[in-house]
Amino acid sequence: MDKVIATAAEAVADIPDGSSLAVGGFGLVGIPEVLINALLEQGAGDLEVVSNNCGTNGFGLGVLLAAHRIRRTVSSYVGANEEFARQYLSGELEVELTPQGTLAERMRAGGAGIPAFFTPAGVGTQVAEGGLPLRYDGAGGIAVASPPKETREFDGITYVLERGIVTDYALVHAWKGDRHGNLVYRASARNFNPPAAAAGRITIAQVEHLVDPGELDPDEVHTPGIQVQRVLHVGKVEVGIENRTVRA
C-alpha cells in the first residue's frame, strides 16, 4: 500500500513514446512541474496531452512543447505561450480546443467510467457542428478539421454529445498526500487536478507535504488513494507570476 516513489526519474521512467497524459494545473497554479521536468529528461515523445493549457514559455508543459515532445493536445486555453501558437499555426501540433467546463467534465466522466455525456456547451458553434482546425497545413489552410458531433434534444433544449477521456497516465500536483495516495489540493490548484487524477490509468502525484496514513481527515480528501498509483514528495513549491505589471 505504500505508493511513495523515491525520485521523480523513477516515477516517470516507464512512460513510453506515444503515451496519452492528463496533466493538472491552471495557468501557473497546481502544475506538476517536477514530474514534467523529469519526463523531459526521460525523453518520451510523440505525446498526447490533455490539460487546460499547455504551460508557458519555459515552464510546465511548455518545456515538453519546446522540445517537440508533444504531438497533440486537448486544451481549452492557448494563453500567452508563443511556442504553442507557433507550432499550432505552422502545422507541427494538433490541437483539439474544448470548452473549459466540458474538458473538466470529460476527464471526470472518463474516471467515473462514463463513456459520454450530453452538454449544452458548444451547441450552435463549430464545437458541435465541426470544422474547427485540429491541424493547419503550414500555409494558412486547414489540414485536419474536427468532425461534427451528435446532438440531441431534451425538453426542448439541444445538447451535444461529448466523449469521456481516459489517458494512459496522469500527472498531478497536490498540497498534501499520504503514503496510500490520498490527496488534498489547496485553493485554485483544486481545479483540473482532481479530474486529471481520475482520468489516468496510472496516476502519478507530486505532493508538497507527505504524511502517514491516518493523518488526513477523510472528509478533507479530494482524490482517494484508489485513483493514485505513485506518490512523489517534492516539498514546498513556489508559484510563479505569469504576467507582472509595475508602475512606470
Give per-residue pLDDT as tens, 6-46: 999 999 999 999 999 999 998 889 999 999 999 999 999 99
Provide the residue ranges of all domains of the chain, joining segments of one domain with +. Answer: 8-115+164-233
Q: Strand ranges (DSSP E) for 9-166?
A: 20-23, 47-50, 70-75, 94-97, 116-119, 133-136, 142-145, 151-154, 157-163
What is the predicted pLDDT for the residue at 242?
A: 67
230, 192, 181: which is closest to 107 by C-alpha?
A: 192
Confidence of residue 236 (pLDDT cuts 50, 70, 90): confident
User: What is the average per-residue pLDDT within 54-80?
Assistant: 91
3, 83, 49, 72: which is closest to 192 by C-alpha?
A: 49
Of 63-72, 123-132, 213-222, 233-242, the one with minimum mean pLDDT is 233-242
Distances (CA, A) of 145 to 65, 113, 168: 22, 28, 25
What's the whole-model pTM score? 0.94
Which one of 3.10.520.10, 3.40.50.720, 3.40.50.970, 3.40.1080.10 gives the CATH number of domain 8-115+164-233?
3.40.1080.10
Of 26-40, 150-164, 173-187, 230-244, the one with minimum mean pLDDT is 230-244
Give per-residue pLDDT as tens, 111-140: 999 999 999 999 999 999 999 999 999 999
Q: What DSSP designation does 14 have? A: T
Q: Strand ranges (DSSP E) for 121-198?
A: 133-136, 142-145, 151-154, 157-163, 167-178, 183-184
Burial of 235 (C-beta count, 10 Å sphere; 0-12/13-18/19+) = exposed
pLDDT averaged over every residue in the chain: 95
Confidence of residue 169 (pLDDT cuts 50, 70, 90): very high
